[in-house]
Structure 1
């Protein structure tokens, strides 16, 4: 039984291939997997601003060169944006202080190398698509969409000497193809995640989209306690909390339509608790 309502809320002109969202301080922050700008959209004013993350920032960057920013999360006043790690050019983390606009950049090649070792992944299998920072721990969501890869969650404590762990997660199938993580968010003691089925065996090449699910996990154990089919043909790649009432959660989602059109479709998802 469906306990959600999905509606197309608005279109933002000027953004191609949105891959992550974060709503905070009445502003919607958006990353794109083909751009090295951070986009800032004022919903009430319908105003879009662009924050360059590198010198000579570009949009619609060719696939071989793109930074592939797929994850955005918040820790205190810091926005954290991560590349997917699926190629050597996709190993960068950007951290933006929302109070001072101070930007920091970090090369995650060494960390991502450790993740491959811990998870027994080859270089072309690592594909980080979501991030959650909570309780002095970073959770990174591995999208297992390449051949022989696996979905799962990397658990990275602040003190990495305590040990990085990888927890494989088995996700539902659509048309006999396992869905794979595309984003996740923590709300109270539950993780709400998006997972898409795509007919491809590559972290690099896109395939036919077979649909997207919304799943709910018990955060302490990663046990999946609910799954809803959101669409049979759309690929949702970003989720953020928009509003919460006693009985309902409102999320914002973004869709990656795998085109170069400079338009980002933003959806509202009303989910009954």
Structure 2
């Protein structure tokens, strides 16, 4: 497997990209310290931004670390035949235990609880507490949800390994998760299915999940190798990766080594930015995929990468 960069674009006015989704000819981007949802056109030009929650605290161009919602994952949900964007916080601090449901179609499902803003706010504290309380669920790490993806009737959350912890895939049935998310009468906390995975390492550090996307029979993901020992502080980025989990592996009891490859620049040297999320743009023949990846430069800007992934 090989992942090669074919184009890199930089955005000074899209801070700290952490989530990416594609719908039609548009790409949607969120940042972990921004209150806005950014929309790019098919040529990756920034077209608009819309506040999804209160913009207080964004005067400097980035929300302070101890106040930010830390939206680390975004996915497209289909509900009653209509598309919605679900954005979820990492859960690594009390302010980060919220989700936002964005109203793409303009109907009323997201307006309840949205207030002045365009997204419905959802409290995830009970869901995240459940994950923390279940023995061994998080593989020895503090809660740090970094990837969110929906497809094949399930919602997938990727828990990022920290220190000696494990990378964990947490799966829910959408038929249980959506009623809980919307607060429907009688809805219960959804039951999770847990899988553990091993990613590449370097100098006693292990790469950690950072983004997810469902395409064909695979859960594609981004991962990065970051020199940090907790879910709160940033560290030096030593490399970024792309890989996939075959859905036939989901739910297996062993800790499995999954197909993963470093992102390489055109000259073959490693890309050392922090890849945060991805979408699969299209498949080009057998085992070739066109991907779009967003990356956080940890200085208030973002990069968008076009990547060609070859899977043998």
When normalised by structure 1's length, the TM-score is 0.90
Q: 1:232 to 1:266 in 2, by over 3 A?
A: closer
Query: How far 1:11 sits from its partner (Å)?
Result: 2.5
Residue 206 of structure 2, aligned match among 174, 178, 185: 178
Structure 2: segments with no counterpart, 5+ residues: 111-118, 177-187, 251-255, 264-269
Query: How far 1:68 sits from its partner (Å)?
Result: 0.3
Query: How far 1:119 sits from its partner (Å)?
Result: 5.2
Query: Which residue of structure 1 aligns with residue 184 of structure 2?
Result: none
Taking the aligned partners of 1:198 and 1:56, their CA distance within structure 2 comes to: 29
Q: 1:162 to 1:28 in 2, by over 3 A?
A: closer
Q: Tell me if 1:250 matches 2:259.
A: no
Query: How far 1:133 sits from its partner (Å)?
Result: 1.5
Q: 1:124 to 1:168 in 2, by over 3 A?
A: closer
Does the residue aligned with 1:113 lie in a helix, a strand or coil? helix
Taking the aligned partners of 1:45 and 1:268, their CA distance within structure 2 comes to: 10
Structure 1: segments with no counterpart, 5+ residues: none
Structure with more of its chain in strand, by fraction: 1
Query: Which residue of structure 2 aligns with residue 227 of structure 1?
Result: 260
Query: How far 1:192 sits from its partner (Å)?
Result: 1.4
Taking the aligned partners of 1:119 and 1:208, their CA distance within structure 2 comes to: 31
Does the residue aligned with 2:126 lie in a helix, a strand or coil? helix
When normalised by structure 2's length, the TM-score is 0.79
Taking the aligned partners of 1:86 and 1:187, their CA distance within structure 2 comes to: 28
Q: Tell me if 1:269 matches 2:307.
A: yes
Q: 1:119 to 1:193 in 2, by over 3 A?
A: farther
Contact 2:26 2:40 in 1 (8 A): yes
Query: Which residue of structure 2 aligns with residue 134 of structure 1?
Result: 151
Contact 1:174 1:211 in 2 (8 A): no
Taking the aligned partners of 2:140 and 2:51, their CA distance within structure 1 comes to: 28
Contact 1:87 1:124 in 2 (8 A): no
Does the residue aligned with 1:168 lie in a helix, a strand or coil? strand
Query: How far 1:251 sits from its partner (Å)?
Result: 0.6
Q: 1:163 to 1:264 in 2, by over 3 A?
A: closer
Contact 2:207 2:224 in 1 (8 A): yes
Contact 2:209 2:223 in 1 (8 A): yes
Contact 1:194 1:236 in 2 (8 A): yes
Taking the aligned partners of 2:97 and 2:139, their CA distance within structure 1 comes to: 15
Alignment size in residue pairs? 269
Contact 2:295 2:303 in 1 (8 A): yes
